[in-house]
Chain A
Amino acid sequence: MDKGSIPRIHRHFRLQWEEAQGCHVLLYPEGMVKLNDSAALILGCVDGVRSVADIIAELTSRFPDVDGIASDIEEFMAAASTRRWLEFD
């Protein structure tokens, strides 16, 4: 993955907090995925402005004690783009 690329939530998906389920979800035509906390945290940083590198830098500084956070983020972003949750400019 090119760390300079800028991810966006794919235009066919919507990220929102669902009180009744106590979690963030991605909504898309006739479907919904529940997100775990780390997925929601990463997707919450995706704003169509920040690059992958920016997001890694931000989360690394917020969670300095978590080992391997950079590779976790990259892995998640790759998986999310295969599932078409993310698109890259």
Chain B
Amino acid sequence: MSSIPEASPPLWLLAELTYRCPLQCPYCSNPVEMAAAGEELDTEDWLRVLRQARGLGAAQLGFSGGEPLVRQDLEVLVAEASTLGFYSNLITSGVGLTGDRVRSLREAGLDHIQVSFQSSEPEVSALLSGSPKAFAHKLEMAQAVKAAGYPMVLNFVLHRHNIDQTEQILQLAHELGADYVELANTQYHGWALLNREQLMPTREQLQRAEQVTNAWREAHPDGMRIYFVVPDYFEDRPKPCMNGWAQMFLAVTPDGVALPCHSARNLPLEFPNVQQQDLESIWRHSDAFNAYRGFDWMREPCRSCPEKERDFGGCRCQAFALTGDAAQADPVCTKSNQRSLVDAALGAASAQESGAPGLRYRTLQASKDILARQV
């Protein structure tokens, strides 16, 4: 235990205020077991979490979910965050947002609203979100966000059903006056993992999207900033997930579970709950947060690997989801003897017929059905 490094401060707090959401995105990163979560934290709990996290040194705060706008106390939480000196980000689908709410959140001190889109096309958007009206509303809300003086960040989750529209997506973002665009290829956790075969693009699709993005950047050197997040399955090395386990990122779920990564909930660890323990003892002393801190927990090939300080062995959640053991190297790594799991997934996806998606939507009922089958 002695060689577990002294915990550096959690610079990022992700407050997942609720699992409720009016949309049903099949790439949602929420856990498929979300129906088994306990009661949502109340306002007092969240205020305490914000104060404790700020006390530990957190400076960036994300309000997400589910759809955080369904929380009626959002303005109260935003106001406290602002008083505490957080830089606060609202991560929303835009559904439930109104021009009035955009302004009241601004008055409460919110720094930034990120609106996520499913697509640049209304039809694809309706197919993916399960809502025919969402797209027009998102456009309107993106404009309201801009008009209220927030920096405008638009997020598009890319997968095989929309990645060929990268050019149209960039065009749309440009016309809306975006300051930043995130082209975030799907990360395969939660519902996205369940739908992996239907969501994974082909290598050719991915290469075209990268070319389109680079060409756009060259043609608009002073334009919006574009972040293109590459899907790690196509790489030889894993991402330095969360900059290392419990190094700078802390997530709290709707029912108060503290996690070092928002997809860690179903790892076989006892994650502490903010209703029973304060964040400082959770962050510094809990077994779950210390489980993969530093390098001592590593096995081969990571243990003796010169690259371990760059990628920290990759993502624990991905290692667990694919190999059944969270202490393995992330199987994305070609040094892992389980890389074949990732290649098999790529192969299965490219053998899929395009068109008819057969996607499994993120609904409470679907989550209950999955839980019923697990028992």
> Out of B9, B111, B153, which one reaches A20, CB within 8 Å?
B9
Expressed in whole angstroms, the minimum distance between the Cβ of A31 and any Cβ of chain B is 7
Known contacts A19-B57, A20-B9, A30 near B62 by CB under 8 Å? yes
Q: Which residue of A lies closest to B86 (CB)?
A: A27
Known contacts A14-B87, A21-B9, A32 near B114 by CB under 8 Å? no
Q: Is B59 an interface residue (CB 8 A)?
A: yes
Expressed in whole angstroms, the minimum distance between the Cβ of B144 and any Cβ of chain A is 17
Bound Cα distance A18, B87 (Å): 12
Residues of A within 8 A of B151 (CB): 11-12, 28-29
Q: Is B143 an interface residue (CB 8 A)?
A: no
> Out of B9, B57, B112, which one reaches A30, CB within 8 Å?
B112
Residues of A within 8 A of B114 (CB): 29-30
Q: Is B202 an interface residue (CB 8 A)?
A: no
B56, B60, B62: most-surrounded residue (chain A CB, <10 A): B60
Residues of B within 8 A of A20 (CB): 9, 56-57, 59
Bound Cα distance A29, B59 (Å): 12
Q: Which residue of A lies closest to B85 (CB)?
A: A16
Expressed in whole angstroms, the minimum distance between the Cβ of A66 and any Cβ of chain B is 30
Q: Are the C-beta atoms of B56 and A29 separated by less than 8 Å?
A: no
- Chain A interface, number of residues (Cβ within 8 angstroms): 15
Bound Cα distance A28, B111 (Å): 8
> Out of B59, B149, B179, which one reaches A25, CB within 8 Å?
B59
> Out of A11, A12, A19, A27, which one reaches B60, CB within 8 Å?
A27
Residues of B within 8 A of A29 (CB): 89, 111-112, 114, 151, 153, 179-180
Expressed in whole angstroms, the minimum distance between the Cβ of A64 and any Cβ of chain B is 35
Residues of A within 8 A of B87 (CB): 14, 27-28, 32
Expressed in whole angstroms, the minimum distance between the Cβ of A11 and any Cβ of chain B is 8
Residues of B within 8 A of A18 (CB): 57, 59
- 17 A-B pairs whose Cβ atoms sit less than 8 Å apart in the complex: A11-B151, A14-B87, A14-B111, A18-B57, A18-B59, A21-B57, A25-B59, A27-B87, A27-B111, A28-B87, A29-B111, A29-B114, A29-B153, A30-B112, A31-B60, A32-B11, A32-B60
Identify 20 new A-B residue pairs, CB closer than 8 A, beyond the known A20-B56, A20-B59, A30-B62. A14-B87, A16-B59, A18-B59, A19-B57, A20-B9, A21-B9, A21-B11, A21-B57, A25-B59, A27-B59, A27-B87, A27-B111, A29-B89, A29-B114, A29-B151, A29-B153, A29-B180, A30-B114, A32-B59, A32-B60
Chain B interface (Cβ within 8 Å of chain A)? 9, 11, 56-57, 59-60, 62, 85, 87, 89, 111-112, 114, 149, 151, 153, 179-180
Q: Which 10 A-B pairs have the closest CB atoms?
A: A20-B57, A27-B87, A12-B151, A29-B112, A20-B9, A29-B153, A29-B151, A30-B89, A18-B59, A32-B60
